[in-house]
Amino acid sequence: MGPPGAGKGTQAAVLSERLDVPHISTGDLFRDHVGGETALGVEVKRYLDSGKLVPDEITNEMVRERLADSDCNAGFLLDGYPRNVRQAQQLGAMLRELNGELDAEIDVVLELDVPEDELVERLLSRGREDDRESVIRDRQQVYRDETSALLEYYSDRLVTVPAVGSVDDVTARALDALRTRT
């Protein structure tokens, strides 16, 4: 977890490879289903084309299908999911259903922490037209507002890692933090 610009996608890809577990990105799931024209993909496309958020039920079902794949048996890394407490609760239920265990849950939630001014600089440097400072700061506030309850929900599994420095430095801190929690 982390705000826009924290390096979640970069770290998820690197950590997935280093830990030898699949990297499951909801953005990738959406693209795969839409591109493959699956029933869920048709639903996703309808929402995306109208500029609406994809409902939790559809996102949850895509994640459920992916977690049922055998390559997830030894673990996985989620990127972009869950985004709210309802999804987190559903994820717990999915894991219990898939694993047939009462205590099947997420082991660790890794939060990438970056000072807001650093995030603004990172996002401004991308040069995208919609990356104006006021818009970026608004997105950061929306992230904080929307995820505070989720961070609290996972507080007993939450590990916060400073995500400033080189990709390798952040990865090293993340791996150290994960080793102490698992």
The per-residue DSSP string of 99-114 comes to: HT-TT-----EEEEE-
Phi, psi for residue 15 in degrees, rounded to 5: -65, -40
C-alpha pair distances (Å), 29 with each of 21, 82, 94 = 16, 13, 17
> What residue numbers bound the domain in which 24 lies?
8-181
- Predicted confidence band of residue 104 (pLDDT cuts 50, 70, 90): low
Q: Give the separation between CA 56 and CA 70, rounded to whole angstroms.
A: 24
Q: Give how many domains the chain has, as a whole number.
A: 1
Residue 136 inside a domain? The answer is: yes
* 62 DSSP 8-state letter: H
Residue 15 inside a domain? The answer is: yes
- Predicted confidence band of residue 103 (pLDDT cuts 50, 70, 90): low
Looking at per-residue confidence, does 52 or 23 come out higher? 23
Whether 10 and 80 have beta carbons less than 8 Å apart is answered as no
- Predicted confidence band of residue 33 (pLDDT cuts 50, 70, 90): very high
Q: Give the separation between CA 135 and CA 7, rounded to whole angstroms.
A: 18
Residue 3 inside a domain? The answer is: no
Instruction: Return mean pLDDT, the chain.
Output: 92
Q: Give the separation between CA 66 and CA 23, rounded to whole angstroms.
A: 11
Residue 132 inside a domain? The answer is: yes
Cite the active site residues: 8, 83, 126, 128, 139
Region 32-41: mean pLDDT is 95
For residue 100, the model assigns a pLDDT of 76
In sequence order, the 6+-apart residues with CB closer than 8 A to the CB of 176 are: none
Residue 2 inside a domain? The answer is: no
CATH of the domain at 20: 3.40.50.300
